[in-house]
Structure 1
Amino acid sequence: MGQLVTEKDRARGGTTRRIYEALKAQILAGTYGPKDRLPSTRALAAELGVSRTTVTAAYEQLLSEGFLESRQGAPSRVALLHEQQPARPLDEGTPSGAVSLPATPVRLSRFGATLAEGPVWAPPQSDALVADFRYGDLSAADFPAEAWRRAVNAALRRRQPRLAYDDPGGSAHLRTALQAYLWRARGLRCEPQQIVIVNGSQQGLDLAARVLVDPGDRVAVEDPGYVMARRVFAAAGAEVVPIAVDEEGLRTEALAGLDAVRLAYVTPSHQFPLGSVLSARRRQELLSWSGRTGAYVIEDDYDGEYRYDIRPIPPLQTMAHAENVLYLGTISKSLSPMLRLGYLVVPPPLYPAFAAAKQLVDRHSPSLDQEALAEMIASGAYERHIRRSRRSNGRRRTALLAALKAELGDQVTISGADAGLHVVVWFDRLGKAEEGPLIARARAAGIGLYPVSPLYAACEAGHRPDRAGIVMGYASLDVTEIGKGVAALARVLRG
């Protein structure tokens, strides 16, 4: 016990807590066995060089938690605990007072085990870079802070008579506003009772996996495609079937040869990441397949607002025979990924199950944020912001394409530049094995680049081009940063 508290510990304070934790660990490890006497508070205080009051407080905490038992006038003794291990000597080389608890196996559900195998979110390193081309990020300067503040204030002024849980499907105010917005912006007709407000598109995918997919069901996904979609279906126990994409989008003829596919996940308006648009012929083939097999189609319209040459491509759900299509939208690309709001437009028969699933997961999305977004849409501020963002990102896109042409010329091929907030850059003179080294060298030069390879399913890599490729997002950078970043990339390639 003499080394239980060091001089450094005393200088930092919190001595009572450290005495309590050390004694508790020793009791659980069996260093102090059942009915063993602990040193008196006076003796331990003298040994550690602390006040008796400090030690007494630690003992009282252990007594209140049932680790100790005490009688008036008798010394404190260790209580009989179910989790106690037999008394054993400390390992050689282990400092006095340190405890090495036996390792216990980690037991996870199949869901947990599937998730544990995947990558964990890592914080961005943009502040340390000359230019970070990470896709999915937006510029903080584009966020309409004043319009959002007014919308939040307006929502707060509509005070409710009581604070209570809300409709799991979402605020009636927001669903009505979204119904009108989707008709104006995307030509999509629906009823408010078909809309489920979710915490971003990721929760929309999670709810779809819970409601529509059983373990062992087959789910078709684009390849390359959105990794988080693949992971959510795999975690639900589905067999994820990658389907190749080309310049016309998902190769729908591959669906005809698959048996018992329960669901297909697609990004038809701007395929992620390659940027192709699902052709009219393949749209009809996809819907025909869905109607014939009864499979559902999730249409992820993650950045449909950003098209720079023509009007946004109409959603699948606007077409005939789209009864099995679920439309998934988000404000993560139009407003902010930090505001976790998205929406599902589901076929009417599915609404009760989705609303019940949403209630079970988290009751409902934050009411204040929903009301503020509804206020922005109803006032026209949201669409004015989108028009400004489209112009700003159009300038960034133009700057990126011009810089790539000027600095790299015929060394690269660019895909997906007609819409969205990112492009895919293929390096025609570098094999795909050089993708990792290129990214590492760029990082050392202060440039954040992100490979295309992880977006391909590992088991279906035969159609992946044998070239190094990167996904370059530009929505978080200004024009000057884009130019500096591409120039630095050119220097890396020359080196």
Structure 2
Amino acid sequence: MPAPLPKPSSSRSLYRDIRARIGDGSYAAGTALPSTRALAAERGLSRGTVSLVYEQLASDGFVDTRPGAATRVAAGAADRIRAQGRGAEASEPQRTQPDSGRLSAFAQRLQAMPLRPAAPDPAGVIDFVYGPLAGRDFPTLPWLKALRRAEGQRSQRLEYASPLGAPELRQALQQHLHQTRGLACTTEQILVVNGSQHALDLCARLLLNPGDPVVVENPGYRMAHQVFEAYGAQLLCADVDDDGLQTAQLAALTAQAPAKLAYVTPGHQFPLGGYLPMARRHALLDWAHAQRCWVIEDDYDSDYRYGVRPEPSLLSLDSADCVIHVGTFSKTLSPQLRLGYMVLPPALASLFAQAKLLTDRHTATGPQRALAQLIDDGSYARHVRRMRRKQHARQQALLQALGRHLGTQVRIQGAASGLHLSVWFPGLAASQEAQLVQAAAQRGVRVYPISPLYRQPAGHAQAGVVMGYALLDLPEIERGVQRLAEALQSLR
């Protein structure tokens, strides 16, 4: 039995301590780590903090997790750690941890989360990452022309603008959302934000108190879950199937206490890709009305639908003003623009504008006015149509490559829309997921395990990965899948 670990001050130090013990052989391959309950009690941390550390270790390929079984050190983990030397952690500037007694409860919860920025790819790596777009797809010339026109119209009085957003962009968005989403709203309901993550943070700050129950999808968008947890919310996890959120579970989940908020991705469930059917949409709204619960509808990539008819949005079906609709331009233009929007119930619009005023005054006005011009003159719609064709071609290339090189060895979810696929490996146990990711990395391919997107306990028995394709060209997709097939074969 290895010696007990020194008491860490945060999830980062706990991660480092366990990683170091694996690297020096104190935790040999196959060794069972303490249960999250036992380690949390021993170290004075929450079980959620320990679970997040274990999830990060599994994502990095150092431990294997399996539902109902102990977390164990993965085969070859020590060799990988030694080969990495001090690894990515060593490249970070050394910082002392602030005394937790001098931090707010929010800061302490945030400190316990293993949030890490994305690492750049080494040359030659084929990265099936979800989120980034290809720089060559950005509409550079139309954007520069619109930006020059916007800056050329600069007013003589330079002052802070409305926190709601530029009036011309909100007017353009009102028309755009009516035409493309069937939404009927006023410009006063539209709040321009710095991307969807900013919108989620505003919702958590203004609608939640510590301990409030929040319903989330399982699996689901991890950074949304972390926003709510950072503000002290209690997450209630509803399972997901091929049709999205299983609304039949909502009543049981909230039997003890009504939920304050529900976060859903009904247009394209992340990460499994389900599309919430009309019956479930009505069931969700009926439940929310009865609970007096706010519903965040994250419409993050609905511009990419391939041959399927969209259902009405939750907001267009809402008769009780409980739905907050969140959208972004990160999936059509660029995440670097930090442009998104919220369509708020009338009762919330003024309050959210006040909160944004205190947060950042307003979003940069030049890009807002430029985007408004692109929407008004039709350039944005033409760009979206062009991007839809390109992304569909990439998706088809990925599907065909998976069929050629892996065939019946994989099962695919989420091909009806979006910019990623969920790819399952029926012949590979969930505990082998990290090994597959590592084997692919050794062949110059990055794929991303699906396990970290599940809340504990994990709800799947098969290994799975999330494969984005928006960053890649067609030959890269073919080579990447071929290498992935070789990685899978090496495990068999």
Q: Same fold (TM over 0.5)?
A: yes
Is 2:248 aligned against 1:253? yes
The answer on 1:266 being equivalent to 2:295 is no
Checking the alignment, whether the CA contact within 8 Å between 1:128 and 1:446 is kept in structure 2 is no
Deviations, residues 174-229 of structure 1 (Å, cap 9, x unaligned): 00000000011111111100000000000000001111111111110001000111
The one-letter amino acid paired with 1:112 is A
In 2, the alpha carbon distance for the partners of 1:180 and 1:264 equals: 27
Give the TM-score, by structure 1 length.
0.77
SS in 2 for 1:417: coil
Gaps of 5+ in 2: 1-94
- Residue 428 and residue 369 in structure 1: after superposition, are their counterparts in 2 closer, same or farther (change >3 A)? same
Corresponding letter in the other structure for 1:470: V
**Pairing partner for 2:182 from 187, 196, 211:** 187
Deviation at 1:323, TM superposition (A): 1.7
Matched, 1:204 2:199: yes
**Partner of residue 364 from structure 1, selected from 362, 365, 371:** 362
Cα–Cα, structure 1 residues 482 and 211, in superposed 2: closer, same or farther, change >3 Å? same
1:486 aligns with 2:484: no
The equivalent position to 1:216 in structure 2, one of 197, 211, 217, is 211
CA distance in 1, matches of 2:131, 2:294: 27
| Pairing 1:451–2:449 present | yes
Alignment of 1:340 with 2:338, yes or no, is yes
CA positional deviation for 1:241: 1.1
SS in 1 for 2:479: helix
Structure-2 residue corresponding to 1:87? none
Aligned-pair CA distance for 1:128:
2.6
The whole-number CA distance in structure 2 between the counterparts of 1:105 and 1:333 is 39
Q: CA deviation at 1:103?
A: 9.1
1:291 is the counterpart of 2:289? yes
Q: CA deviation at 1:389?
A: 0.2
Q: Match of 1:426? A: 424
Q: Which residue of 2 aligns with 1:404?
A: 402
* 2:143 partner amino acid: W
Of 306, 309, 325 in structure 1, the residue corresponding to residue 307 of structure 2 is 309
C-alpha contact (below 8 Å) 2:277/2:311 kept by paired residues: no
SS at 2:481 equivalent: helix
SS at match of 1:405: helix
Q: Which amino acid aligns with 2:483?
A: A
The verdict on how the C-alpha distance between 1:157 and 1:247 changes in structure 2, with shifts beyond 3 A counting, is same
Matched ranges for 1:72-87 at <5 A: none
**Residue aligning to 1:30:** none
Q: Is 1:232 equivalent to 2:230 in the alignment?
A: no
Larger radius of gyration: 1
Provide the rounded CA distance (Å) in 2 between the counterparts of 1:471 and 1:272. Answer: 10
For residues 224 and 433 of structure 1, the distance between their equivalents in structure 2, rounded to whole angstroms, comes to: 17
Partner of 2:129: 134
Q: Greater shift after overlay, 319-328 or 293-302?
A: 319-328
Separation in 2, partners of 1:442, 1:102: 35
Q: Flag the 1:417–1:322 CA change in 2: closer, same or farther, 3 A.
A: farther
Cα 1:102–1:202 shift into 2, 3 Å: closer
Q: What is the CA–CA distance in structure 2 between the aligned matches of 1:405 and 1:397, rounded to whole Å?
A: 12
- Residues 216, 102 of structure 1: alpha-carbon distance in 2 compared, 3 angstrom cutoff: closer
Distance 1:104 1:343, change over 3 A: closer
**2:99 is aligned with 1:105:** yes
Q: Do the aligned partners of 2:278 and 2:311 also contact (CA within 8 Å) in 1?
A: no
Cα distance per residue 1:8-62 (max 9 Å; x no partner): xxxxxxxxxxxxxxxxxxxxxxxxxxxxxxxxxxxxxxxxxxxxxxxxxxxxxxx
Match of 1:161 among 139, 156, 163: 156
* Counterpart Cα distance in 2 of 1:103 and 1:177: 46
* Structure 1 residues 297 and 104, CA gap change in structure 2 (3 angstroms): closer
What is the SS of the residue equivalent to 1:128? coil
* Structure 2 counterpart of 1:105, one-letter code: D
| Counterpart selection for 1:175 from 155, 158, 170 | 170
User: What one-letter code is carried by the residue in structure 1 that aligns with 2:99?
Assistant: P
Contact map agreement 1:304 1:313 (CA 8 A) in 2: no
Distance of 2:325 and 2:397 partners within structure 1: 32
1:56-87 deviations in whole A, cap 9, x for unaligned? xxxxxxxxxxxxxxxxxxxxxxxxxxxxxxxx
Are the aligned partners of 2:423 and 2:464 in contact in 1 as well (CA < 8 Å)?
yes
Matched, 1:467 2:467: no
Question: Tell me, what secondary structure is at the counterpart of 2:297?
Answer: strand
Secondary structure at 2:485 match in 1: helix
Question: What is the alpha-carbon distance in structure 2 between the residues aligned to residue 232 and residue 481 of structure 1?
Answer: 34
Tell me how far apart the structure 2 counterparts of residues 334 and 430 of structure 1 sit (CA, whole Å).
Answer: 35
Gaps of 5+ in 1: 1-100
Q: RMSD in angstroms over aligned alpha carbons?
A: 1.5
Q: Residue 220 of structure 1: SS of its match in structure 2?
A: strand
Counterpart secondary structure, 1:338: helix
Alpha-carbon distance change, 412 to 237 in structure 1, aligned in 2, over 3 angstroms: same
CA contact (8 A) 2:422 2:467 kept: yes
Instruction: State the SS of the aligned residue for 1:284.
Output: helix
Q: For 2:385, which of 379, 384, 387 is the aligned residue?
A: 387
Q: Please list the CA deviations of residues 343-378 of structure 1 after superposition, one character each: whole Å capped at 9, or x if unmatched.
A: 000010111110001111111111111111111111
1:300 and 1:328 in contact (8 A); partners too:
yes
Asked if 1:150 is matched to 2:148, the reply is: no
2:409–2:427 contact (8 Å) kept in structure 1: yes
Amino acid at match of 2:415: A
Residue identity in the other structure for 2:179 = R
1:2-151 correspondence to structure 2 within 5 Å: 105-106=99-100, 107-151=102-146
Amino acid at match of 1:264: A
State the one-letter code of the partner of 2:290.
R
Shift in Å at residue 320 of structure 1? 4.6
Residue 275 of structure 1 deviates from its aligned partner by: 0.3
**TM norm structure 2:** 0.78
How far does the alpha carbon of each residue in 1:237-284 deviate from its partner, in whole angstroms, 9 at most, with x for none? 111111111122111122212122001000001000000011111111
The alignment partner of 1:352 has SS state of helix
Q: Secondary structure at the match of 1:188?
A: coil
Match of 2:277 among 272, 276, 279: 279
Distance in 1, Cα, partners of 2:381 & 2:360: 29
Give the match for residue 73 of structure 1.
none
Partners of 1:180 and 1:407 lie apart in 2 by 45
Q: Percent identical across equivalent pairs?
A: 48
CA shift at 1:312, angstroms? Answer: 3.5
